[in-house]
Amino acid sequence: MRRVDGGEVGDDGWQAGRRPFPADPGRRPMTMPPAGPVLDELRLAVWEANQAIVRAGLVTLSFGNASGMDPASGVLLIKPSGVPYGDLRPEDLVAVGLDDGRILGGDLRPSSDTPTHLALYRAWPEIRGVVHTHSTEAVAWAQAGRSIPAFGTTHADHFHGAVPVTRALTEAEVAGAYETETGAVIVETLARLGLSAAEMPAVLVVSHGPFTWGPDPRSATENAIALEAVAAMARRTLVVDPAAGPMPDHLLERHFRRKHGPSAYYGQPRR
């Protein structure tokens, strides 16, 4: 055992009594994470996503996390738990198996929100990046238990309708596999509304905060930044006019579809 951050840590890198994933007694702990050109590129992308949410003002203390997933290898890379963003290095990111949640390498504990990220990747195979923050404006709506209305075109450029808020987790869900249940209620929310992960790349978890996602870590980060912006705009809209209503459906549809889907024409073509 050794001391790290005030806690006793065993040879496998876990703090005593704080192992959030089942141990596999037949598996020798790995200290070297999976590597290769694709995973090395993903590692840099996930590290940059974690730095980008700090630069965007979405982080207080060490709250929040960004992850990325490589479907070919079945590896998720995520920020380690409680590590200050200023101290975070690409090699600190923790590799986790997508199928079983095993720690595949590294000496640090993964984010406590890892089971939530895993639930989203498993539910929506098309996504490759997930971001969770405690950003002030979005959290305010989550704490109020209110969806963010689609008041204008800035909102419609990113989100196909009001950004939804989940139902409250039950006492049993919180007492059980809390982080996994958090992922499940996010997936449940979009299913209830008949929305795909591409149409609605964000959900507010009631009394908690926002999760966003996208086809890569950078897109997930951009959606987190956009979400914070439209949350602030919506709040200020209601200050100016408490009776303000959502934008017309036809305008929302035009703005969303010009940036998303097969008929999109915003920006430059990918090469």
Write a three-state SS string for 62-86.
Answer: CCCEEEEEECCCCEEEECECCCCHH
- Residue 37's pLDDT is 73
Is pLDDT of 233 > 80? yes
Tell me the fold of 30-257. Answer: L-fuculose-1-phosphate Aldolase (3.40.225)
Residues in the chain: 271
Catalytic residue among 157, 178, 216, 265: 157
* Separation of alpha carbons 269 and 156, rounded Å: 21
For 29-51, how does the pLDDT look when each residue is reduced to its tens digit (9 = 90+)? 444 566 677 888 999 999 999 99
- Residue 258's pLDDT is 79
Catalytic residue among 5, 24, 40, 266: 266
Asked if 90 contacts 42 with a C-beta cutoff of 8 angstroms, the reply is: no
Question: Catalytic site residue 157?
Answer: yes
CA-to-CA dists, residue 15 to 3, 8, 26, 109, angstroms = 9, 5, 19, 8
Least confident span in 71-75, 176-180, 253-257, 258-262: 258-262
* Separation of alpha carbons 131 and 211, rounded Å: 6
* Separation of alpha carbons 94 and 31, rounded Å: 10
